[in-house]
């Protein structure tokens, strides 16, 4: 094909439809089902779902963004079994232990699916006698909770964790965790969030001065932790009616757990309170908060932090600083109780197994300091001189973050292509001797693959130009490498930008042995500042 004929052929790009039509399915089998044939419900288990197409593109962008962040902060990755010995997980999660999935006895071991990535990490550190490590872990965890699928509250979900284990200056790694939280969420285009922060020693000190017995502290922590979902009156009633506290004790706790504000403002109020600052545990916590403020100011993240004494984090293993990150979508609807009542009374239009209608997204990331967990495992395994290995970490909830991003970009989500193809290799020609250049297209595609460039071509010997452009548009490829019959025979390739705005652009004719550099240059123009379309969309650029 002459050069002008190839240029005419590329004009078809402008006339290509928005997407190629789907191929017709195979005809259905007409054989009748035999008696006794296995029948199944084609559905996923409650609280789980399949992920595909554009959803997976967005999720993978979340994973890659967070893993790059963790590596930037010096993290090394590990992996642990999806199930652990049941005794490893037992008594680590307080009242939430009822949500652990226990497995049947298989071969003499009692095991359970992991509830989080923190306890397996502590077991890993103790088992391998690790003295210090920065690790990140991205993996699925399992909780037998009431699902709210559209809010990202599921029974099977991914956590992205970053933890630091080892002896360091007080509050230094803790402050970096908060910075990682800010970096991670802002790099995903989430800016309207608040880091709710508290300190277990301060909270335990408040419980002590209020008259809570040592053995009841964790149970009262679990009650206080419900303040983000329930009003104070309900939490107070639980303390008195279910957990045996006096009204005076509950009211004293209430005076403090309603306090929230900036780090410095709440710190000053507590420091000036003689009762709290006079308690040994609370005083230790306040000293650590004083150190923390210096570091968060150095990182420039104070405006994201709220010192909130209602935050308790019900998990038993936390010993110091605790935090969770919330957004406007985290809270339940104002009429949640009414919506829940309707759902429980069998609204036919709603799924009774899904709480999406009456709950919020909840926290989208959380973490804290757990200084005793590694040592607990080491001692329990018989190590008499086990070293104390303090730990602190942050965990991002991918499904909850995904639900927020998906809602924010809903209008543009249709533009996200589930394929990563950057270049489509095409061939144009004609005449009785025209073979379609299929082996030649394969050779060019191989060169692009070897150069690390995502590439496709039509799996047909003689594909007409329109079909090739339709395939390229369906794949979302921004660039075409075109083999014209006579141009390629002369050692030339045509490189063309795709899309309606480039309909009148015939592309650039280049030497076939030097085309990779030109492809890279044109892709650099497509991906402004080295950021691809999906990342740009997620970040709101």
CA distance 255 to 414: 50
Written as six digits, the tokens of 166 are 């080892």
CA dihedral (83, 85, 88, 90) positive or negative: positive
Helix (H) / strand (E) element for 476: namely none
- The distance from CA 30 to its chain's CA centroid, rounded to whole angstroms, is 45
Burial class, 167, CB count within 10 angstroms (exposed 0-12 / middle 13-18 / buried 19+): exposed
CB 476 within 8 A of CB 419: yes
Q: What is the DSSP letter of 374?
A: H
Q: Helix, strand, coil % (nearest 5) of the chain?
A: 45, 15, 40
User: Number of C-alpha atoms within 13 angstroms, CB side, residue 34?
Assistant: 3
Task: Give the alpha-carbon dihedral of 39, 40, 41, 43, to 10 degrees.
Answer: -150
* Numbered residues of the known binding site: 116-118, 143, 159, 163, 313, 317-318
First-to-last alpha carbon distance for the chain, in angstroms, is 42
CA distance 295 to 293: 5
CB 137 within 8 A of CB 80: yes
**What per-residue string of b and e applies to 388-413 under the rule 16 or more CB within 10 Å gives b?**
ebbbbbbbbbbbbbbbbbbebbeeeb
Burial class, 452, CB count within 10 angstroms (exposed 0-12 / middle 13-18 / buried 19+): exposed
- The distance from CA 257 to its chain's CA centroid, rounded to whole angstroms, is 30
Among candidates 190, 186, 175, 197, which has minimal Cα distance to 305?
197
CA distance 364 to 5: 56
SS (H, E, C) 131-198: CCEEEEEEEEEECCCCCEHHHCECCEEEEEEEEEECCCCCCHHHHHHHHHHHHHHHHCCCCCEEEEEE
* Numbered residues of the known binding site for L-histidine: 116-118, 143, 159, 163, 313, 317-318
């Amino acid at each position: 094909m002459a050069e002008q004929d190839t240029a005419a052929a590329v004009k078809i790009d402008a006339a290509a439809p928005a997407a190629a039509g789907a191929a017709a399915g195979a005809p259905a089998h007409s054989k009748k089902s035999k008696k006794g044939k296995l029948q199944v419900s084609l559905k996923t288990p409650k609280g789980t779902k399949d992920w595909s197409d554009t959803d997976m593109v967005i999720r993978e962008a979340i994973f890659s963004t967070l893993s790059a962040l963790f590596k930037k902060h010096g993290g090394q990755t590990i992996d642990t079994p999806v199930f652990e010995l049941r005794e490893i997980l037992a008594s680590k999660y307080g009242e939430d232990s009822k949500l652990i999935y226990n497995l049947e006895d298989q071969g003499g071991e009692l095991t359970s699916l992991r509830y989080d990535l923190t306890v397996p990490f502590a077991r890993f550190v103790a088992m391998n006698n690790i003295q210090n490590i920065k690790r990140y872990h991205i993996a699925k965890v399992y909780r037998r909770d009431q699902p709210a699928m559209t809010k990202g509250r599921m029974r099977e979900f991914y956590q992205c964790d970053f933890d630091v284990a080892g002896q360091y200056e007080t509050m230094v790694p803790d402050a970096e965790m908060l910075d990682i939280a800010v970096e991670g969420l802002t790099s995903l285009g989430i800016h309207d969030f608040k880091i709710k922060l508290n300190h277990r020693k301060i909270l335990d000190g408040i419980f002590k001065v209020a008259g809570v017995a040592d053995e009841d502290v964790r149970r009262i922590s679990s009650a206080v932790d419900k303040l983000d979902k329930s009003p104070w009156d309900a939490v107070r009633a639980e303390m008195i009616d279910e957990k045996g506290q006096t009204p005076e004790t509950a009211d004293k706790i209430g005076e403090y757990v309603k306090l929230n504000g900036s780090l410095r403002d709440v710190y000053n109020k507590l420091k000036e309170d003689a009762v709290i600052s006079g308690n040994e545990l609370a005083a230790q916590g306040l000293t650590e908060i004083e150190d923390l403020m210096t570091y968060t100011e150095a990182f420039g993240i104070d405006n994201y932090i709220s010192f909130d004494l209602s935050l308790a984090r019900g998990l038993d293993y936390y010993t110091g600083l605790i935090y969770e990150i919330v957004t406007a979508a985290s809270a339940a609807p104002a009429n949640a109780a009414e919506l829940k009542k309707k759902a429980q009374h069998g609204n036919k239009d709603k799924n009774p197994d899904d709480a999406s209608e009456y709950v919020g997204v909840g926290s989208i990331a959380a973490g804290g300091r757990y200084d005793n967990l590694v040592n607990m495992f080491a001692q329990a395994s018989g190590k008499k001189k086990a070293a104390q290995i303090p730990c602190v970490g942050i965990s991002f909830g991918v499904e909850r973050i995904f639900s927020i991003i998906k809602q924010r970009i809903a209008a543009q989500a249709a533009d996200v292509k589930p394929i990563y193809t950057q270049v489509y290799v095409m061939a144009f020609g004609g005449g009785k001797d025209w073979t379609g250049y299929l082996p030649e297209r394969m050779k060019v595609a191989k060169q692009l693959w070897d150069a690390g460039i995502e590439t496709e071509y039509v799996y047909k010997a003689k594909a007409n130009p329109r079909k090739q452009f339709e395939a390229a548009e369906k794949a979302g490829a921004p660039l075409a490498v075109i083999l014209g019959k006579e141009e390629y025979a002369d050692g030339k390739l045509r490189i063309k930008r795709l899309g309606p705005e480039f309909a009148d652009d015939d592309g650039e004719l280049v030497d076939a042995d030097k085309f990779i550099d030109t492809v890279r240059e044109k892709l650099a123009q497509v991906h402004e500042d080295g950021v691809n379309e999906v990342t740009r969309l997620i970040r709101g650029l």
